[in-house]
Amino acid sequence: PWSSSLSPPPLLRSPGSLPSPSDYRVCGGHLTDDYGTISTHEGPHTECVWTLQVDPNYKILVSMTSLNLTCGKEYVELLDGPPGSKSLGKFCNGLSILSRGSTSTMTVKYSRDSDHPTSPYEIIFLRDSQSK
């Protein structure tokens, strides 16, 4: 169930060049902005779940340009829709990970062992302008 992904760079600008209305550092929530960044949550939680929802006329893209988590101790899982939907994969490391949802909703889950500290991560989400 673990995936490590090395693929060509996505058709996105680098994370530093994407304007972001919000930088989400809280553990989980329902996010409805057209784009944003989910950043490392440093707290006692061992699982954080974010439901991402953009305009229903669009699909959603999720990008992790560089992921370096401790495999076997922590991962990010992408679900194609709301919580409970089909998993698109569990990721612990990789470069240029890009996933396109089949609808306007995706779920991002970060999970770690309780005895393991949180590693830094950055997850960018945006509505896919090519899918209208």
Helix (H, G, I), strand (E, B) or coil at 15: helix
CB 26 within 8 A of CB 46: no
Instruction: Say how far residue 56 (Cα) sits from the centre of its chain.
Output: 19
Q: If you write DSSP's letter for every residue of 55-123 in order, what string do you get?
A: -TTSEEEEEEEEEE--TTTEEEEEESSSTTS-EEEEEEEEEEEEEE-SSSEEEEEEEE-TTSPPPP-EE
pLDDT digits (tens, 9 = 90+) for 59-107: 999 999 889 999 999 999 999 999 999 999 999 999 889 999 999 999 9
Domains and CATH numbers, the chain: 2-8+27-131 (2.60.120.290)
pLDDT-derived band at 8 (thresholds 50, 70, 90) equals very low
Q: Which amino acid is present at 122?
A: E
Summarised one tens digit per residue, pLDDT across range 105-129 is 999 999 999 999 999 999 999 999 8
pLDDT in tens, 12-69: 434 444 444 455 678 999 999 999 999 998 888 999 999 999 999 999 999 998 899 9
